[in-house]
């Protein structure tokens, strides 16, 4: 999940921005802020991956906020004026949303954020301790390498973890909690499925094919992110 904050001094605009963030499955709203100063406090105390930030705000505007950060998160600027577009891109903004904007415009910007997040956070496969997790199944604590996980199925209060060359593990754990722990090469494609993107064999219409016997559905709310991921790696006409 991409940990995100929304910043806008106008209450209605902030409400719309947060509602859009909550509609994108791979974004997690960490805080909503009515000023750049309030956002700075959040940034000092929380881990934040992305900011959706209004530009025209009193005291400290959105661009001044980003300039003041030594290592700013991924940023998307929102504003009612197109005059700031060039300066916004000079600050390496992922996108620039001109108000008023709709949900589809927002989702396109969110997909650009996700693409940059994957590029920034992708790690080479290895055997470090960060590449493993312990899962409790029955009375055992089993160490599992993320790279061995093919996909995960959510089943109410349980998850079923499908492993390469091993029997699946059933764990008493919410799928959402597992999703928050996964490396960047995992993606949620359905309310009930998280897949290891490295293990995909084929994408056929509304299904992901993991092997000749495993066809997983792609949920409507998750389709854009997967399509964007595939488009970045597509060769052909």
- DSSP codes of every residue in the chain: -EEEEEE-SSHHHHHHHHHHHHTSTTEEEEEEESSHHHHHHHHHHS--SEEEEES--SSS-HHHHHHH-SS--EEEEEES-GGGHHHHHHTT-SEEEESS--HHHHHHHHHHHHHHHHHHH------SGGGEEEEEETTEEEEEEGGGEEEEEEETTEEEEEETTS--EEEE--HHHHHHHS-TTEEEEETTEEEEGGG--EEETTEEEEETTEEEE--GGGHHHHHHHHHHT----
The answer to the question of residue 22 being in a domain is yes
Confidence (pTM): 0.57
Cα angle 79, 82, 86 (rounded to 5 degrees) comes to 105
Give the residue numbers spanning the domain of 146.
129-232
Supply the pLDDT for residue 162: 96
Residue 156 covered by a domain = yes
- How many domains are contained in the chain? 2
Q: 10-residue block means of pLDDT along the chain (237 residues)?
A: 94 96 92 94 92 90 89 90 64 87 93 84 51 87 93 93 93 88 88 94 91 92 83 67
pLDDT on residue 130: 62
Same domain, 144 and 111: no
Domain co-membership, 87 together with 143 = no
Tell me, yes or no, whether 11 and 107 share the same domain: yes
Do 60 and 81 reside in the same domain of the chain? yes
**Within a domain: 221:** yes
Give the pLDDT confidence score for residue 113 in this predicted structure. 92
Q: Are residues 144 and 113 in the same domain?
A: no
The CATH number of the domain holding residue 155 is 2.40.50.1020
| Order of strands across the sheet that contains 158-163 | 169-172, 158-163, 149-155, 193-196, 186-190
Check whether residue 145 and residue 224 sit in a common domain: yes
**Same structural domain for residues 161 and 228?**
yes
Same domain assignment for residues 16 and 41: yes
Q: Which of 121, 140, 172 is the last residue of a domain?
A: 121
Last residue of a domain, one of 91, 121, 151: 121
CA dihedral angle for residue 120, residue 125, residue 130, residue 133, rounded to 10 degrees = 120
End position of a domain, from candidates 94, 121, 148? 121
Which pLDDT score is estimated for 40?
92
Q: Does 196 lie in the same domain as 101?
A: no
């Amino acid at each position: 999940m991409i940990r995100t904050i929304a910043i806008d001094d106008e209450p209605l605009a902030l409400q719309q921005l947060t509602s859009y963030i909550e509609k994108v499955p791979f974004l997690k709203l960490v805080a909503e802020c009515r000023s750049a100063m309030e956002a700075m406090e959040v940034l000092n105390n929380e881990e934040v991956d992305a900011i959706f930030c209004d530009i025209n705000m009193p005291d400290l505007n959105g661009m001044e906020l980003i300039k003041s950060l030594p290592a700013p998160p991924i940023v998307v600027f929102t504003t009612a004026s197109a005059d700031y577009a060039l300066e916004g891109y000079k600050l390496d903004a992922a996108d620039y949303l001109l108000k008023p904007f709709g949900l589809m415009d927002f989702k396109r910007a969110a997909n650009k954020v996700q693409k940059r997040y994957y590029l920034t956070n992708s790690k080479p496969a290895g055997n470090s301790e960060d590449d493993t997790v312990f899962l409790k199944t029955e009375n055992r604590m089993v160490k599992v390498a993320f790279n061995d996980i093919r996909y995960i199925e959510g089943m109410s209060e349980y998850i079923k973890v499908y492993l390469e060359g091993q029997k699946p593990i059933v764990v008493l754990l919410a799928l959402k909690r597992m999703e928050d722990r996964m490396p960047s090469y995992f993606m949620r494609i359905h309310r009930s499925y998280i897949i290891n993107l490295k293990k995909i064999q084929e994408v056929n219409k509304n299904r992901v094919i993991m092997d000749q016997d495993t066809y997983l559905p792609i949920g409507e709310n998750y389709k854009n992110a997967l399509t964007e991921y595939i488009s970045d790696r597509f060769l052909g006409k």
